[in-house]
Amino acid sequence: MTQIITITKEQISSLQFTDTIQVKQHPDLNQQLHKALRLGNTHKRKVNIIFQDDEGMKTVDTTLWAYGSKYVCFKGGVWIPKNRLIEIEF
C-alpha cells in the first residue's frame, strides 16, 4: 500500500509538480470537484484532497474555492495542477 503523507495547505507552495507523472484519478473526480466547490463556497466547509506531487501521494484538509480545466485553487490562493488530483473525500 502506498503511504499518503498529510500536509498543511501552506506546505503546498513548496511542492514540485512536473508534467512527467501520470496519476490514476477517481472516475467521478469531476463530480467530486463540483460538490467540493459548492461546499467550500456556500458552507465554507473543508474537504480532504488526495493528490500526488513529484515525490509521492499527499493529503490536505482544505477548502476548494475554484477550479478550471488545468488547475484547482484552495483557500488562500494556493494552486495545484488538476491532473495531479486523485480523489476528494467528504
Alpha carbons 82 and 85: distance in angstroms, whole number: 6
The length of the chain is: 90
Q: What is the pLDDT along the chain (90 residues), one digit of tens a residue?
A: 679 999 999 999 999 999 788 999 999 999 999 999 999 999 999 999 999 999 999 999 999 999 999 999 998 999 999 999 999 999
Domain ranges of the chain: 5-15+22-89
Does residue 62 contact residue 90 with C-beta atoms inside 8 Å? Answer: no
5-15+22-89 CATH fold: SH3 type barrels. (2.30.30)
**What's this model's pTM, rounded to 2 decimal places?**
0.94
Helix H, strand E, coil C: the string for 26-61 is CCCHHHHHHHHHHHHHHHCCCEEEEEECCCCEEEEE
